[in-house]
Amino acid sequence: MSALPGEPGSIPPALVNRPSSWRFLLGAIGAAGSFRALVLAIVGLQLTVVGWGAIDGMSRNELGTIRRAMLGPRPEIERFEGRDAVQVALARSARTILDPIRVVSGPVGSLLAIDPGRTGPGRSIGAALWGLVVWGVIGGAIGRLAVGRLNPVGEPVGVWSAVRFMGRRLRSVLAAPLGVMVVVGLLAIPAVLIGLMIALGGAGAEAIGSRLLVVPLLLAIPSALLVILLLVGWPLMVLTVAVEGEDGFEAVSRTVSYLRQRAGVFVGSIVLSGAAGAVGLVLVSQLARLVVHLAGWGLAIGGPSDRIAPGFAWSGSGLGSWPAGWNGWRAGIGLVLHGWAFSFVWSAMARIYVVLRQDVDGTPWPDLYRPEAEDAEPFAPEPTNPAPSA
């Protein structure tokens, strides 16, 4: 419970008001630039790529196959070249902002594909599980940091403590989406049996299958709703665990309640945050462009400006004639830009969760985050008082 006005640690009344204004949602742009959140996002990206590469290696496929199928290309500095340069830059940034959702939606979509192609069901399951584990912990930690930053007088949240908090609740983080997928699988059993009957053939098998088609079609309706719930509501499930330490069942239940009661608020917040993220990524790209230019300006004072300008100058192509070893810096800049997109999405979803939590349940956001329980072991026994000595 928050302190009374005027007491130490009290929260100004203006900060407890309903955080539903567009300015509150746009605050995710600044939160995404937090050094701690950005580092977590970059670590999460690297873990994702390494894990997917290991899955590729175990299946004797070309390394990077899953990454290319599930993620967009790594962003680079926008230089606004060509026709409709601004629109093209914003479109590229918008696609990058969708990557944090594609980490899970990509493998799930591949798993549900009628013809999985090169990925295959086994690799899709592995990629989905790895994405759920990595971003259940890393994304939840970023969201926990974001909500902690909203309280200007509260105890600060540490990076390691946020990651440890999510690691201890990994079972709850995984139980929510996996439970949804298990139900989708169970609803598909009648369709599987009808498909086997058609495959085995026999007199009138296809005719009987066509008559029974109504069964899988009817069961596919709740399956479709569950898949939509998973793809759209998965970040909210993670944040329910991250912010308030709930279990998997409560995470699914609360997400369903929020999407059912405040679908318009959720969609509007997503559209506004997505547009802000696309613009924000372009602006961060231009900041990186300025940093590169100033680094080149310093190098050109003592070095050959004709070789430096093509790769470093503000108006340069970024494809200078420097040795190949220097290209690693360009890849590093792309990784930072990609990390910013992931940090932004999880910070924005944390703010959207705060909006929905207060709008539906009437819970003020200062009551959502409990730093005193941060390192507490769940279900830890109560301390016992020693018996008084005689």
Q: pLDDT category, 365, cuts 50, 70, 90?
A: low
Of 112-121, 179-188, 255-264, 367-376, the poorest mean pLDDT is in 367-376
Q: Which residue type does 52 have?
A: W
Least confident of 168-172, 175-179, 309-313, 379-383: 379-383
The pLDDT assigned to 16 comes to 43
In the predicted structure, residue 12 carries a pLDDT above the cut 50: no
Give me 193's structure tokens: 């049996």
Q: How far is CA 200 from the centre of its chain?
A: 43
One DSSP character per residue, 91-145 reads HHHHHHHTHHHHHHHHHHHHHT-SS-TTTHHHHHHHHHHHHHHHHHHHHHHHHHH
SS3 assignment, position 349: helix
CA distance 231 to 229: 6
Kindly report the backbone phi and psi dihedral angles of residue 313, in degrees, each rounded to the nearest multiple of 5, phi listed first. Answer: -65, 150
Q: pLDDT higher for 352 or 383?
A: 352
Which pLDDT does position 285 carry in this prediction? 92
- List the structure tokens of 43: 């670590």
List pLDDT tens digits, range 189-206: 998 888 888 777 766 777
334-342 mean pLDDT = 94
Quick one: CA torsion of 47, 270, 184, 200, rounded to 10 degrees? Answer: -90
CB atoms < 10 A from the CB of 287, how many? Answer: 13
As a whole number of angstroms, the distance between CA 146 and CA 33 comes to 11
Give the tokens for residue 331.
Answer: 């890849």
DSSP code for 289: H
* Phi–psi pair at 389, nearest 5 degrees: -70, 145
Checking if the pLDDT of 369 tops 80, the result is: no
Contacts of 7 (CB under 8 A, 6+ apart): none
Of 120, 123, 111, give the one whose Cα is nearest residue 55.
123
Q: What confidence category does residue 379 fall into, taking pLDDT thresholds of 50, 70 and 90?
A: very low
For residue 100, give the nearest of 131, 69, 124 by alpha carbon.
131
Q: Is the pLDDT reported for residue 382 higher than 50?
A: no
DSSP 8-state class, residue 1: -
What's the burial of 285, exposed, middle or buried (CB within 10 Å: 0-12/13-18/19+)? Answer: buried
* DSSP assignment letter at 380: P
Q: What is the pLDDT of residue 4?
A: 35
On the 0-12 / 13-18 / 19+ scale of CB atoms within 10 A, 185 is: exposed
Name the least confident of 2-16, 34-48, 334-348.
2-16
pLDDT in tens, 69-79: 788 888 888 88
Answer yes or no: pTM beyond 0.95.
Answer: no
Q: What is the pLDDT of residues 21-69, one digit of tens each?
A: 778 888 899 999 999 999 999 999 999 999 988 888 777 666 667 778 7
For tokens 């009661």, name the residue: 261
Looking at residue 73, its pLDDT comes to 82
**Lowest-confidence region among 96-110, 154-168, 219-233:** 154-168
pLDDT at 387: 52
